[in-house]
Amino acid sequence: MVSFVIRTKNEEKLVGKVLKSLYSQTYQNIEVIIIDSGSTDKTLAIVKKFPVRLIKIAPEEYNPGYALNLGILKAKGKYIGIVSGHSVPISKTWLEDALIEFRDPRMAAVTGHYTENPVGYFCCKLGRMVFKLEQRQRQEFCPWMTNTNALIRRDLWQVYPFDEKLSGCEDYDWGSEMITRGYNIIKEPKFSVFHSHQFIGRPGYHQRLSRWKKICARIDKRKRPRKSYMKLKIG
């Protein structure tokens, strides 16, 4: 089983499209857990139309690592899928294409590319053409895992949960830890998503890059292997 954990707050524009895409995948042994941190728009009404498990937290409780850890702790799946409330898979075989990679026992996670061009939200065929034009390549031992779209092993999350001391880049920290421990993380073009912050009126990649660089610089100074901080207890 694959358990998807989706963090939401005011995702009414696209969360329905995301969920419809997940439930239309060729691989259907899935569950979806929504961690909502105070939506005030129609997000909750939309997600309740789907067979999801909804967990609400207060806005002041939100931390990217905490929200993910909470959802994963409630998950049943052997694998954990992580997507944002506005990350739409590029194909119906998207999940199946990623699961194949776990035939390798040293595979810790599969992540993908994303494009800020919103055309894929309206036409998958045109959206996939954008990826071809951008010539996105497969990468091995890539620490740049993104929780925009990732599929990870739950057993390895139990060894190293997402670090709740970080205010961002918890995905890069997790990827760096796994590679240090000898595992592989691939960035696979077939596992890419349509993901545009500009379309939903939020700061885009370049607006957030400076902050990410500062956090990643601190992460790079960490001695590994190490333990991460998690408030919740893994039972």
pLDDT digits (tens, 9 = 90+) for 58-72: 999 999 999 999 999
What is the SS3 assignment for 68-122?
HHHHHHCCCCCEEEEEECCCEECCCCHHHHHHHHHHCCCEEEEECCEECCHHHHC
Distance CA 155, CA 152 (A): 9
Q: 204 pLDDT exceeds 70?
A: no
Q: Quote the pLDDT of residue 77.
A: 98
The number of angstroms, rounded, from the C-alpha of 143 to the middle of its chain's C-alpha atoms is 14
Q: What's the CATH number where 110 sits?
A: 3.90.550.10
| Range of lowest pLDDT (131-135, 192-196, 226-230) | 131-135
Token pair for residue 177? 């830890």
Q: Quote the pLDDT of residue 209.
A: 75
CB 74 within 8 A of CB 127: no
**Residue range 145-167: mean pLDDT, rounded:** 97
Range of the domain at 144: 2-220
Tell whether 107 is covered by a domain. Answer: yes
Tell whether 235 is covered by a domain. Answer: no
Distance CA 128, CA 96 (A): 17
Alpha helices in the chain (DSSP H): 15-22, 43-47, 64-73, 94-99, 124-134, 154-159, 170-180, 205-220
Longest dimension (CA), the chain: 47
Sequence-separated (6 or more) residues with CB below 8 Å from residue 100: none
Assign 168 a pLDDT band (cuts: 50, 70, 90). very high
Assign 116 a pLDDT band (cuts: 50, 70, 90). confident
Q: To 10 degrees, what angle do helices 205-220 and 170-180 make? A: 40
Q: What angle do CA 176, 22, 126 make, to 5 degrees?
A: 90
Other C-beta atoms closer than 10 Å to the C-beta of 161 total 23
Tell whether 139 is covered by a domain. Answer: yes
Specify the 3-state DSSP secondary structure of 224: coil
| Range of lowest pLDDT (140-144, 210-214, 220-224) | 210-214
Would strands 79-84 and 149-153 be described as parallel, antiparallel, or unpaired?
antiparallel
**Residue range 52-56: mean pLDDT, rounded:** 98
CB 170 within 8 A of CB 147: yes
Tell whether 205 is covered by a domain. Answer: yes
Q: What is the pLDDT of residues 76-87, one digit of tens each?
A: 999 999 999 999
Q: Quote the pLDDT of residue 196.
A: 87
Q: Classify residue 211 by its DSSP letter.
A: H
> How many structural domains compose the chain?
1
Assign 210 a pLDDT band (cuts: 50, 70, 90). confident
Token pair for residue 124? 């998958």
The number of angstroms, rounded, from the C-alpha of 196 to the middle of its chain's C-alpha atoms is 14
Tell whether 230 is covered by a domain. Answer: no
Tell whether 11 is covered by a domain. Answer: yes
Tell whether 227 is covered by a domain. Answer: no
Tell whether 115 is covered by a domain. Answer: yes
